[in-house]
């Protein structure tokens, strides 16, 4: 999905109208991300205090997948967020979610080293292109 997002963004910069395809991809990725988060809450050790010390590499891969899905959504929302207030705010909400996920990962030392590069990618994607949209008159809505 991340590759698809980059491809869509590139096509958009090339002048193609990919807005509907990007909106569809955001919906699919959002559903995928929600499913992964629910699965993680039920199965992985990071949410269970009794298992918190376990080094479950499955959890690391799931967090990596969640980070890439969120980064993909942010890239796709960049396509139409300058004209759409809801898309702009959705992109900011996803960026906040990604930052919370990164903070949670940094609290567990065994996870920090395993997925620091993917989390850096996610956080870098959250900051790319987040600026005041034309309709905000220079007032960012990042509260």
Mind listing the pLDDT tens digit for each residue in 30-44? 888 888 878 877 777
Q: Which two tokens stand for residue 120?
A: 């850096």
The total number of residues written for the chain in this structure? 143
Say what the pTM is.
0.60
pLDDT, mean of each 10-residue run, the chain (143 residues): 80 85 85 82 66 63 78 79 78 78 65 53 51 45 37
Q: Specify the pLDDT at position 42.
A: 76
Q: Specify the pLDDT at position 51.
A: 62
Q: Specify the pLDDT at position 67.
A: 78
- SS3 track for the chain: CHHHHHHHHHHHHCCCCCHHHHHHHHHHHHHHHHHHHHHHHHHCHHHCHHHCCCCCHHHHHHHHHHHHHHHHHHHHHHHHCCCCHHHHHHHHHHHHHHHHHHHHHHHCHHHHHHHHHHHHHHHHHHHCCCCCCHHHCCCCCCC
């Amino acid at each position: 999905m991340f590759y698809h997002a980059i491809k869509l963004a590139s096509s958009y910069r090339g002048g193609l109208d990919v807005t509907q395809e990007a909106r569809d991809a955001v919906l699919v990725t959002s559903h995928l991300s929600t499913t992964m988060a629910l699965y993680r809450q039920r199965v992985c050790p990071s949410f269970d205090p009794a298992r918190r010390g376990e080094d479950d590499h499955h959890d690391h891969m799931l967090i990596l997948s969640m980070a890439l899905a969120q980064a993909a959504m942010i890239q796709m929302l960049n396509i139409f967020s300058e004209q759409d207030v809801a898309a702009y705010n959705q992109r900011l909400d996803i960026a906040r979610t990604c930052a919370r996920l990164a903070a949670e990962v940094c609290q567990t030392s065994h996870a920090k080293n395993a997925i620091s590069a993917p989390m850096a990618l996610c956080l870098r994607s959250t900051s790319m292109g987040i600026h005041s949209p034309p309709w905000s008159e220079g007032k960012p809505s990042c509260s």
